[in-house]
Structure 1
Amino acid sequence: MTMITTTAELTRACDALLQSDFVAVDTEFMRETVYWPALCLIQAAGHDTEIIIDPLAEGLDLEPFWELMADDRVMKVFHAARQDLEIFFHQGEGLIPAPLFDTQVGAMALGLGDSIAYDGLVRALLKRPIDKGPRFTDWSRRPLSDKQLKYAMADVTHLRDLYPIMREKLDRKGREDWLSEEMGILTRPATYELNPEDAWKRLKLRKMTPQWLAGLRCAAAWREREAQTRDMPRQRVMKDDALYEIAATAPTQASELQGLRAVPKGFERSRPAERLYEAMRAAMADAENYAPKVEKPAPPPSNVGPTVELLKVYLKRVAEEAGVATRLIATVPDLEKLAADPKADIPANKGWRREVFGEPAVRLMQGEIALALKDGRVVMQDVKG
């Protein structure tokens, strides 16, 4: 088995893949020591074409592959697509493959688990074992052995066989709409945009004062910019614990940073520290406006407890009937909001979730229907007026 290493070879291969109505796609990448994932392999399989692309090959232009991913005549099939799509978005200059089918999301809609692993899905639907031996390969090394390449190729040949089976099962159950919301999130550019000023959202909010929030936002944005510029993991730039200390101190000079327990000794005299001081001075000049606007969630009304418990019972009944996990339909916080306000702006009040759960749940709260036990099962009954 050989890899595609030239643009001419890639162009011919992508032209062949364009003849398929769907293409299974997977990647191998390394990200342990970098901020931006290093794309090491791309595997793709159509009806009659199977290819492995070497993105590290000197002089290889990936443009033919990006054009294939952008062609709306071909369905792109991934498993757990988010990390692959993040790489494509940044290396393909904003590209998000479409139309898209994620078999992990499809498996969730079929009741095969919230986040089933690829090998588990292959075993469940194809009855095939997967060789896990080469999974810890350093995919950036060259040359790769035939065994490693066969392992990488199997990821998309199994995926190619999974897609028609899953599509048929989803059609039969009438659950195509169940995928639309999740696919909408996966194909939204905002999912992959890495704005340093939003990096604070990754962290726990330990205080709610404008001064502390401004300090945390500034420290997190500084770390994100450093990680992106220096291409290293966030935690190697500065640990989360140190960011909390920096947020509390809001240092604008070395003497204010020195002595913080979680900050590496001597860091206060470094160039990155100088950039932190500069950013913090700007943030603290108007901390009230710079601080992110965070609304502390109001506690649920004290009288909704029994309603929430009733909704939990009904949710479990609906999930069991549909053969899916409860959290695919609604979470406990969703139930609390619904109990407090039948028109609450939650996923359970929209789309297919409203049809299978939200609407009858509101009728249940309004006393129009009731839950009862019949032969050991929870059933719905109309309440006669």
Structure 2
Amino acid sequence: MITTQAQLNQALSELEAEKRLALDIESDSFYHYEERLCIVTVSSPRENYIFDTLALGEAGRELQSLVERRDRPLLMHSANNDVLALKRGYRLEFGWIQDTALACTLLNYPQTSLASLAEAFLGLRLPKDLQRHDWGQRPILQQHIDYLINDTRHLFEIHDRIEGELRDRDIYEEYELECRALVQSVPREREFDPERFRRIRAHEELDASRRGALKALYAWRDGLARSLNRAPFRVISDGTLLDLAKDPPRDVAELARRSGVGRWLSEHAEEMLAVIRRGLSEPAPLRAPFKPRTTGDDAKRLDPRQRDVLGKLKGWREKEAASRGLGLQAVLPTPVMFELIQNPPRDVAELAAHPRVGQSRARRYGEKLLQLLAPLARARR
């Protein structure tokens, strides 16, 4: 356990000479509205280190020296969220990531969890009893340590097995390019979108006024969760919100009899009733109103010609992936499809220069992609 500056200095010194490392993090986002980075676990092929980032505070920024090197791979599993959390929490910049879950996705493995890979490749059954543990709690006990290091110490052998298959299937360059995209990922500020109430299952069964009540309750819950620093579902569940919107209570007594309202009732009963009444008076449509995105795969709304090309690209990608027994993203990542549609390349060389296409894809698919994109390329000239 690394909890002090002296221990941190010693650990960083010991890890400096290692030729590769494995890393995983634990946060408390399952419990709190504002995520905290609680634990960083780092393994070398010889030793395991657990960095208590709550105890280290800003000194944890010195972990930069472990992750920034471009001459030493940093093995991770499902790296995207961890990379973004470390960039947000410590402003870390990464050099070289190898992601075992990403590799499995490209190879079209039916199961990509670390537990599945450990059992398939190593014959190990990793315990799952602490998957929902609150890692903001202290002290860290031996059972916690044993669980944490299981997330990193097996990645070396697992990656070695998978790397051979990536090379055999001739998609190692594609894998490297997708890992490089992880390195370059940019964290976004968390923004509450009131229209996401439509993600609640069965919302479409409500009429417009009751959808309005659900939307109002959804926004109210987020505000309360933020003020309490609790994960929204730990304030009131989606199911309870749906029930209150579907059959709105008329008074405090009726609200008190509803399942799932619980201890929030005494302080917020009148407020909840007012929110429901307001929502009922503001009907919400079944579909969210269109809001142009400024970032993302579909940042620009596609015109009819572009949508037609997108459909053809998706159909071609499905057939190609099936014929090679690979995942769809191995053939062509979805964000790249949108980028090529919005800015079609003029030739194979320009296609290969795209940072997530590369030489291998350009050689294999270049002429076909240019053919599919030709209507858009002509319009670009």
Question: CA 1:321 to 1:64, structure 2 compared with 1: closer, same or farther past 3 Å?
Answer: farther
Match of 2:63 in 1: 68
> Partner letter of residue 325 of structure 1?
G
Alignment partner of 1:189 is 2:195 = no
Match of 2:123 in 1: 129
CA distance in 1, matches of 2:178, 2:209: 37
Match of 1:374 in 2: none
Match of 2:101 in 1: 104
CA distance in 2, matches of 1:310, 1:103: 27
Match of 2:154 in 1: 158
Q: Does the 8 A contact of 2:84 with 2:187 survive in 1?
A: no
Alignment TM-score, normalising by the size of structure 1: 0.60
Which residue of 24, 27, 30 maps to 1:26?
24
CA distance in 1, matches of 2:233, 2:164: 44
Alignment partner of 1:322 is 2:315 = no
Report the Cα offset of residue 44 of structure 1: 0.4
Question: CA 1:72 to 1:31, structure 2 compared with 1: closer, same or farther past 3 Å?
Answer: closer
Question: CA 1:210 to 1:293, structure 2 compared with 1: closer, same or farther past 3 Å?
Answer: farther
Q: Does the 8 A contact of 2:74 with 2:97 survive in 1?
A: yes
Q: Does the 8 A contact of 2:3 with 2:51 survive in 1?
A: yes
CA distance in 2, matches of 1:319, 1:105: 16
Alignment partner of 1:6 is 2:7 = no
> Partner letter of residue 79 of structure 1?
H
Q: Does the 8 A contact of 1:254 with 1:269 survive in 2?
A: no
Match of 1:78 in 2: 76
CA distance in 2, matches of 1:228, 1:41: 23
CA distance in 1, matches of 2:357, 2:116: 27
Q: Does the 8 A contact of 1:198 with 1:221 survive in 2?
A: yes
CA distance in 2, matches of 1:69, 1:81: 16
Match of 2:368 in 1: 360
Q: Does the 8 A contact of 2:53 with 2:60 survive in 1?
A: no
CA distance in 2, matches of 1:318, 1:177: 15
Alignment partner of 1:144 is 2:141 = yes
Report the Cα offset of residue 323 of structure 1: 3.0
Cα RMSD, aligned residues only: 5.6
Match of 2:232 in 1: 234
Question: Mean Cα displacement is larger for which, 16-25 or 260-269?
Answer: 260-269
Q: Does the 8 A contact of 1:200 with 1:216 survive in 2?
A: no
Report the Cα offset of residue 280 of structure 1: 9.2
SS in 2 for 1:136: coil
CA distance in 2, matches of 1:171, 1:272: 61
Report the Cα offset of residue 54 of structure 1: 3.5
Match of 1:177 in 2: 174
Q: Does the 8 A contact of 1:315 with 1:357 survive in 2?
A: no
Identity among equivalent positions (%) equals: 20
- Listed one character per residue, the Cα deviations across residues 137-192 of structure 1 (whole Å, up to 9, x for unaligned) are 456464623x66345334322213444565565466244335645764683312xx
Q: Which runs of 5+ in 2 are unaligned?
A: 292-303, 345-350, 375-381
Which aligned pairs between 1:213-362 and structure 2 lie closer than 5 A? 217-244=215-242, 264=261, 270-271=267-268, 274=271, 293-294=289-290, 315=317, 317-326=319-328, 329=331, 352=357, 360=368
Report the Cα offset of residue 202 of structure 1: 6.7
- Listed one character per residue, the Cα deviations across residues 191-235 of structure 1 (whole Å, up to 9, x for unaligned) are xx4222367267256389998777655433332232233233322
Q: Does the 8 A contact of 1:44 with 1:156 survive in 2?
A: yes
Report the Cα offset of residue 359 of structure 1: 6.4
Match of 1:15 in 2: 13
> Partner letter of residue 77 of structure 2?
H
> Partner letter of residue 63 of structure 2?
L
SS in 2 for 1:135: coil
Q: Using CA pairs below 8 Å that are at least 6 residues apart, which structure has the higher relative contact order?
A: 2
Alignment TM-score, normalising by the size of structure 2: 0.61
- Listed one character per residue, the Cα deviations across residues 97-119 of structure 1 (whole Å, up to 9, x for unaligned) are 5543321002222x151551213
> Partner letter of residue 104 of structure 2?
A
CA distance in 2, matches of 1:78, 1:274: 45
Question: CA 1:343 to 1:31, structure 2 compared with 1: closer, same or farther past 3 Å?
Answer: closer
Question: CA 1:228 to 1:182, structure 2 compared with 1: closer, same or farther past 3 Å?
Answer: farther
